[in-house]
Amino acid sequence: MNVSLFIPCFVDQMVPRVGLAVARVLERLGHPCEFRAAQTCCGQPSFNAGYWDEARAVAIRAVEVFEGADAVVGPSGSCVAMMRVFYPQLLEGTPHETAALDLASRTFEFSEFLVEKLGVTDVGACFPHRVTYHDGCHGLRELRIKEAPRRLLQAVRDLQLVECDEPEACCGFGGLFSVKYPMISTAMAEVKAGSLARTECDYIVSSDPTCQLQLDGWLSRYGRHIRTIHLAEVLAGTEP
């Protein structure tokens, strides 16, 4: 299956290694990847801030950019939820509604694409570490992804997966919320990072680079040694 990579703007500019890891895993499994350079951002920041008219313009572009792709795969539950769940709402009643629904049916978050669409759980990776998994809220509650990343991790050689006491608690990022209400956002990070750190694992695995930004930001500031890593990097066998 030809895969069109959906590289969220944050991944493009701040953590390109995550996008490269996604491509490496998929290509190793025999699925060639393309990157349509006309893509930019999914528009979620404006959408979440309430500026739907502005977000709509970005959404229409994205729908056009990914026209005709077999599968659109992105390494972020949040940005994939924007495309799959919120584009059809945002473009409801516009001439782009059908195209948005069509794109939604072809768009997948990385871990669910592997497990649900390709039927793969063992990608042949090795990662000799004790890890815990942080559920990003959009992946968990908008896309209902809970088992796929865990099944992938359980199949990684030499990897030990442990659960924290609050796996489904939010990290507190929430996009612009993190800087508009920084005190609440930070308190949430403290609670979640605390729960994750109590597992005494080597890495916190996540499927959302912006959750990683939040958790690492807090862990680094408060002198904790544990760090996050994206699921794709674990599966690519490329430690940072």
Partner 1 sequence: MTPSSQSAAGIHEASDPHGAKKKFLADAAEHVRDTDHRAFVRKALGGYYTSRDTQKARYRDWEQARDAASLAKWSAVNRLDVLLPQFVAAFEANGGTVHWARDADEARGIVLELLKAAKAKAVIKSKCMTSEEIHLNAAMERDGYGVVESDLGEFIQQLRGEPPYHFVFPCMHVRRDEISDLFGRHLGSPPTDSPEELTMIARRHMRRLYVDADVGITGGNFLVAETGQISITENEGNARLTAALPRVHIALVGIEKVVANLDDLSVLLPMLATAGAGQPLTCYNTLYSGPRQPGEPDGPEEMHVVLLDNSRTALLADPEQRDALHCIRCGACLNVCPIFKNVGGFTYGTTYQGPIGSVITPHLRGLADWNHLSGASSLCGACTDACPVRIDIHHHLLHNRRNAARTTPSRLERLGHRLFVAVARRPWLFAAGGAMFRHTLWLAKRLRLPLLRAWLATRDLPPAPAQSFRAQWKAKA
Q: Figure out which of the listed residues 58, 80, 123, 197 binds partner 1, where binding follows CB under 8 A.
A: 58
Q: Identify which range of 16-24, 110-118, 125-133, 147-155 contacts partner 1 by CB under 8 A.
A: 16-24
| Smallest distance from partner 1 to CB 74, Å | 12
| Smallest distance from partner 1 to CB 119, Å | 26
Number of helices followed by number of strands (H, E) in the chain: 14, 8
Q: What residues have CB less than 8 Å from 105, skipping those under 6 apart?
A: none
For tokens 């990343």, what's the residue? 149
Restricted to residues 147-206, the positions that interact with partner 1 (CB under 8 A) are 168-170, 172-174, 176-189, 191
Backbone dihedral angles phi then psi of residue 143, each to the nearest 5 degrees: -105, -10
Site string for partner 1, 67-106 (x = CB under 8 A): ----------------------------------------
Comparing CB distances to partner 1, the nearer of 95 and 119 is 95
Alpha helix (H) residue ranges in the chain: 9-13, 16-28, 44-49, 52-65, 77-81, 87-90, 97-106, 110-112, 137, 147-154, 177-180, 182-197, 209-221, 231-235
How far apart (Å, rounded) are the C-alpha atoms in residues 173 and 212?
Answer: 9
Comparing CB distances to partner 1, the nearer of 124 and 182 is 182
| Smallest distance from partner 1 to CB 37, Å | 6
Comparing CB distances to partner 1, the nearer of 20 and 29 is 20
Comparing CB distances to partner 1, the nearer of 120 and 178 is 178
For tokens 């809970």, what's the residue? 146
The yes or no reply on residue 125 touching partner 1 (CB under 8 A) is no
**Residue 161, beta-bridge partner list:** 131
How far apart (Å, rounded) are the C-alpha atoms in residues 60 and 91?
Answer: 8
- Contacts with partner 1, residue ranges (CB under 8 A): 7, 9, 11-17, 19-20, 23, 35, 37-41, 43, 45-52, 54-55, 57-58, 61, 137, 140-142, 168-170, 172-174, 176-189, 191, 213-214, 216-218, 220-221
